Amino acid sequence: MSQPIVFKKRVSFVKPAYGFLVAALYFFLLAPLLIVFVISFSSNQYLSFPPDGFTLKWYQLLPQETTFIDGLQTSLITASISTVIVLFIGVPAALALDRYDFRSKALLSSFFLSPLLVPTIVLALGLVLILGPLGLTNTYVSIILGHIGITIPYVIRTTLMSLNTSDTSCEEAARVLGADGLTVFRRITLPIIAPGVLAGGVIAFIVSFDEAVISLFVAESGRPTLPVQVLRYVENSADGVVAALSVILILFSLVVVVIVERAMGLRKALR
């Protein structure tokens, strides 16, 4: 009779400990964001914590920083174009890898996923050596090409996950009824894998928008993106404007997450 009681005591002890561990982990992950949020309202002249007082002046000064606005424009353009291109490349590539067997399938799969294993600085240096002689550095083209290389693996992986968990019987039924391949893809396959495609597109956009190393190498002096502008700003000054910008970017990311949740559901999109 004593063994079950001891077992129950152990279970009752483990559950609160597990909850405390999860709460501590969440706090550890969110603490930097919370500190940045507080600093964005700090009256201190330099980035420091805790604040001496609170003010909104950093948010009022933020629109006056034209370098951030120019960098934001560049980041939005390059991230949007890169996302569209990797979707047009990644989705057909994932379909080919999932539906067809050919001799170089494993090699092609490794090629598409290799950017996840290669350090970003190596890719950036390679792009400079290739695009420099062609006169394409410091242009939108150089940034977009670099961002395509590092974002396409995410689209392929999320699309492959959706394909591996999807039911192909509907596609076979449509073919039996006379639908051609394009119609089957447009009306059956694409709606089925839409959560994976959407998740891959969102991840690709965020990764491209946040990429700093490649943008710093290939377009630092011509088309600096927002992360590059932030690095430049921090080198010369460290006031609350950067914190205010960070809070806005965090809120932007939350809006994207909410949109994905409303459209597809995060669990469904990322499964």
**Overall pTM surpassing 0.95 (yes/no):** no
Distance CA 84, CA 156 (A): 13
Architecture, CATH, for domain 61-270: Orthogonal Bundle (1.10)
Of 137, 129, 122, residue with least CA distance to 213: 122
Span 189-231, pLDDT tens digits: 778 888 888 888 888 898 898 888 888 888 776 778 888 888 8
Res 58 pLDDT > 80 = yes
Residue 7 banded pLDDT, cuts 50, 70, 90: very low
Report CA 66 to chain centroid distance, whole Å.
25
Span 74-111, pLDDT tens digits: 889 999 999 999 999 988 888 888 877 777 777 877 88
pLDDT at 10 (0 to 100): 52
Tokens of 215: 């943008």
Domain boundaries, the chain: 2-57, 61-270
Cβ atoms of 229 and 70 closer than 8 Å: yes
Q: Which residues have CB under 8 Å from 196's CB, separation 6+? A: 158, 159, 160, 161, 162, 163, 269
Distance CA 71, CA 51 (A): 29
Question: For 14-41, what is the mean pLDDT?
Answer: 81
